[in-house]
Amino acid sequence: MQKKIEFSPPYFLEEDFEEVVKVLKSGWITTGPRVKEFETLLSHYTGAKATLCVSSATAAMQILLTVLGVGPGDEVITTVYTYTATASVIHHVGAKIVFADTSPGSFNISPEEIKQRLTPKTKAVIAVDYAGIPCDYDEILEVLNRPSFQYDFKKGSVQDLLGRPVLLSDASHSLGAQYKGIKMGAVADVTAFSFHAVKNLTTAEGGAIQIKENPRLSIEELISQCRLYSLHGQDKDAWMKEKGSYRYDIKLLGYKFNMTDIQAALGICQLKRYPAILEKRKALFAQYAGHLKHKKPFILPSYDPAVKTGSYHLFPLRLTGFNEVRRDALIEFMKSKDITINVHFIPLPMFTAYKQLGFDIQDFSNAYAMFENVVTLPVHLQLDLQDVDRICEELINGVK
């Protein structure tokens, strides 16, 4: 029988299981020394100034917006071409979601669209590195750094100190990706990573906040604010309480978004072999490209390798002349061949909840044009090059 090809199964090694069991046997299973170690390794890996591990990328973004003082009366600009988490967190902190379209022919947010949507109330922009390809960060910063533009910032706020809205990267797809030679985490002002089950590095559920070095900001203070919000505003975590006095203070009304040592153990193991993980994913990408490039109707993902290096998270393949109906038929055909392919993402204005907020997909024609003829192909560590050969062969049959 031929192998069933799944879209994104997790992949662990014996050493991962051993590390998890070690934590379970250690008597300390929630936030403790392994989380600290994972944070240190993550800072070291990306070059960010500070890292806080949390329970998800969603939690990371919600904490960041809160610490950045974003709330009612404020606006945050983000892309329609993302998962709902990127936008829902804006709503949850009480601010207004302002959607921007993607650049023509791109899955990433358009700097020009951001420019058109800036108002004095704009406090942050959330850019999403779709499929692990970094956004046009310099162009976005150029748009935000407008000396002639009158922003309405609270004195002493992070935005005031920067002289512009904060640039937050939703790097859920782009751990290890680089923009102009710098890894994500040290590119945007602040970054959120996801370690959800389907991402390049997974702790089942999990995420991280990273803050980039910036002489205008106290990074120490920002990350300790984030840490407070991640665990009920408690000035000592359970580990510190265990090691010291029972007394602690609640500094503010925070969330419950901390990571456990069990998750961190999984993260540490994968981060140590992450360069090899990226190499493997890159080889799968190259195999896809070898089969599909210069063949009709395929349009391969592309970016300027002098500026960006992706993390090979998803392989988005566009099909010239296809619409939703034909694309969906191709997905069914592949399923009949025991191959799962997917679509990332359904633009947010196509969902009920966003329609109810007044958004209309017709206002985002670039994003719709990207969505209607895209399929995402499996890229994961259980695949070998022969699997990619088979997937490509069936795709070529399928599009006929």
Please report, as ranges, the residues that interact with ligand PLP according to CB under 6 A: 56-58, 82-83, 85-86, 128, 170, 172-173, 194, 196, 207
Is the CB of 166 or the CB of 209 nearer to ligand PLP?
Answer: 209
Pair 135, 125: CB distance under 8 Å: no
374 alpha-carbon distance from chain centroid: 19
As a whole number of angstroms, the distance between CA 222 and CA 50 comes to: 9
User: Is the dihedral angle over the CA atoms 294, 322, 130, 311 positive or is it negative?
Assistant: negative
The distance of closest approach from Cβ of residue 345 to ligand PLP in the complex, given in angstroms and rounded to an integer, is: 7
Residue tagged 């942050």 (tokens): 124
List the beta bridge partners of residue 52: 209
Is the CB of 107 or the CB of 274 nearer to ligand PLP?
Answer: 107
Pair 241, 80: CB distance under 8 Å: no
The distance of closest approach from Cβ of residue 7 to ligand PLP in the complex, given in angstroms and rounded to an integer, is: 13
Is the CB of 202 or the CB of 287 nearer to ligand PLP?
Answer: 202
Is the CB of 217 or the CB of 265 nearer to ligand PLP?
Answer: 265
Strands 166-170, 75-79: pairing is unpaired
Is the CB of 56 or the CB of 373 nearer to ligand PLP?
Answer: 56
What's the DSSP call for residue 4?
Answer: P
The distance of closest approach from Cβ of residue 164 to ligand PLP in the complex, given in angstroms and rounded to an integer, is: 23
Say how many Å lie between the first and final Cα of the chain, rounded.
Answer: 25
The distance of closest approach from Cβ of residue 63 to ligand PLP in the complex, given in angstroms and rounded to an integer, is: 12
293: exposed, middle or buried (C-beta count within 10 Å: 0-12, 13-18, 19+)? Answer: exposed
The distance of closest approach from Cβ of residue 196 to ligand PLP in the complex, given in angstroms and rounded to an integer, is: 4
Is the CB of 57 or the CB of 124 nearer to ligand PLP?
Answer: 57
User: Is the dihedral angle over the CA atoms 302, 83, 311, 61 positive or is it negative?
Assistant: positive
The distance of closest approach from Cβ of residue 57 to ligand PLP in the complex, given in angstroms and rounded to an integer, is: 3
As a whole number of angstroms, the distance between CA 250 and CA 215 comes to: 29
Is the CB of 106 or the CB of 287 nearer to ligand PLP?
Answer: 106
The distance of closest approach from Cβ of residue 16 to ligand PLP in the complex, given in angstroms and rounded to an integer, is: 19
